Amino acid sequence: MMNSTTTRPAFPRRPRREGAAIHFGADYNPDQWPEATWEQDIALMRRAGVTVVTLPVFSWAHIQPGEDSWDFGWLDRIMDRLAQAGIDVDMATSTASPPAWLTSKHPEVLPVTRTGETLWPGGRQQWRPTSPVFRRYALELTRRMAERYAEHPALAAWHVSNELGCHNAYDYSEDAAAAFRDWLRRRYTTLEALNDAWGTAFWSQTYHRWEEILPPRLAASESNPSQLLDFRRFSSDALRDYLRAESEVLRAITPDVPITTNFMVMGDTAAMDYPGWDEDVDFVSNDHYLDPGPGGIDELAFSASLTSAIAKGRPWWLMEHATSAVNWRPVNPPKVPGELMRDSLTHLGHGADAICFFQWRASRAGAEKYHAALLPHAGEDSRLFRDVVALGKRLEELAEVAGSPALPARAAVVFDYESWWTLTQEFLPHTRLDYRGQALDWYRALVGAGLRVDVVSPRNNLAGYDLLVAPLLHIMPADLAERLRAAVAGGSHLVTTYFSGTVDEHDHVILGGYPGALRDLLGIRVEEFSPLLDGEAAALSEGATGRMWTEAVEVTAADVRVLRRYVLARGIDPGTPAVTRRPVGQGSATYVSTRLEGEDLAELVVELLASAGIGPDLPEPLRGQVIASARRGEAADYWTLTNRGNHDLGRAAAVAGMLGGVPLGGADSLGASDAVVVRVPRN
């Protein structure tokens, strides 16, 4: 794999526009429009306060219309116009989707599915991450773009490809097979080590030659789970290696220009292990699209917090979100008035130093023509464009927030991509565990208790948190188990759940009883899982109800306190512990053996916080009503309060006063679908 040796800038460049410190902009696709529209675009961008645009993301076919022909003229002209207007360019390398001439000449670059089907052109991302042929052409395009625009005054950052892995994360081609074997050789060195890691003695899968190993293509039955886990690791690493390859070219030619690529920390996007990717970009960028259903703003904040954790608390860019409706859901409702501002400020509150959208001008044709934009089909005389102008003005008023790092919270939810991967496999005690959904349930319960909450990766520093909630932390390498033990001994209060600590990094069961690696820390032991059938539930003490999963928990340490017991559950004796808490060192370790939801989970969270001596971060009128995030400035902290509901929470000045601060950015109130930024001086 390629590794950059050049020095990376600490942060992306600031825009050159007078008085602007927070970037504001969108993807811009001028090649989809007659040049006569460009001057109008730029004039309206200036009116809206746009400071940066990303171009030309999907323009390879326009830049290189044939293998031996190049046309940079149109791109030169729009770059010059943007520079004259004082608008920065986040320059994409245009490699996201190859042109038709390339895939016609080299169909071997096209991805292959698990069932052996070729994914043909006609959409986007029709390329194999491991294809040496594709990489040769893509890196040549990257090199030419870097050389041509290295000194251009509009160039502010490089944007590698686009949403790497969105449609081509898993490729099962011969290129992928060869690269997978190389990856395995580096990881295991010998076949003996690989066979042991994969448990290949089972089902006569032992490998005697490297050439026998294939990607987990469609098999007669369920594939080897350890092989599946490693293939997911490999696939994430293959995309990361491609990111590094383009970055090497860019850094060699423009070492002073920062590099990013847009992650997709949102919803069910699981293929990329992003917490390891931050080392390969100069600043993290993320794309996020609001879930329009109930609780969508909670999911947005959850994702924004995880993005901040991936960025190690440093400022990051929101590279894409939507001004209103998207185009790719079965039903695509528009955002209600106020949500455009609320969503943007919530990302800002979690560390975003750029608020950008897809896209500037809504397309007339193509698959995304019904996706909202800053300039909608209705044009500038529209509510949506007026809201865009208002957002641009608000971001200018919030300039002092830019550059400030995240202020760590006292509570954190631990989110692990590899545990997520294993819990989507077949042949589990329960195959509908919904890892991300359960992590989000705990996040909501903590927010409901009035806490400011971080979402972190196991790679982050865990020892600094008073409360660590790690639901379904299924994979437990020895070093992670030791870090959790050390955090608890040092004063952290750990809460974990059923099916946690169960397997090691190879997806091998940790023997001796569940929850495996956490058994001694928790002071409990479980002999057998008892997942619940559809429609079943378990009655617990304190009036609680357990769903989806139960366990007959045996207490093995004298200092364990039982917080909830089973009253009625299939196959479990009444009085059996269901939720336990054990004091350990300066902290404690709590185990929840069933899925609690709604008020039952909220009540347990309040009880656990009281036992740990952790009080709320918010005053009573705001507890549960807002999501709080914070950034640390030089002389003050900047809190963002996001209304979670549909009712007005009062005047902005009064709300800010509850925190000992003043509102920034011209907000009048914290109404429904609103967010307020508060400047809180530090004494």
Q: Which residues are catalytic?
A: 163, 320
Scored b (16 or more CB within 10 A) or e, 192-221 reads eebbebbbbeeeebeeeeeeebebbeeeee
**Residues listed for the chain:** 683
DSSP symbol at 218: -
Neighbouring C-alpha atoms within 13 Å toward the C-beta of 502: 19
Give 531's strand partners.
Answer: 549
Largest CA distance in the chain: 79
Q: Which residue has the tokens 């929470």?
A: 649
Q: Which residue has the tokens 């602007």?
A: 20
DSSP symbol at 584: E
- Which strands, in side-by-side order, build the sheet including 262-263? 259-260, 155-159, 88-92, 52-55, 23-27, 352-357, 316-320, 285-287, 262-263
Per DSSP, the chain holds a count of helices (H) and strands (E) of 17, 24
Please check whether residue 517 is in contact with residue 478, taking contact to mean a CB–CB distance below 8 angstroms. yes
Report the Cα 6 to chain-centroid distance in Å: 27
Please check whether residue 548 is in contact with residue 592, taking contact to mean a CB–CB distance below 8 angstroms. no
Q: What are the helix (H) ranges across 16-99?
A: 38-48, 60-63, 73-84
Q: CA nearest 566: which of 592, 604, 603?
A: 592
Pairwise CA distance, residues 469 & 590, whole Å: 9
Q: What are the helix (H) ranges across 285-335?
A: 296-310
What radius of gyration do the chain's Cα atoms show?
A: 26
Burial of residue 525 (CB within 10 Å: 0-12, 13-18, 19+) is middle
Instruction: Give me the DSSP letters along 519-575.
Output: HHHHTEEEEEEEEPPTT--EEEGGG-EEBSEEEEEEE-STT-EEEEEEEEBTTB-TT
- The contacts of residue 519 (CB under 8 Å, 6+ apart) are 501, 512, 513, 525, 556
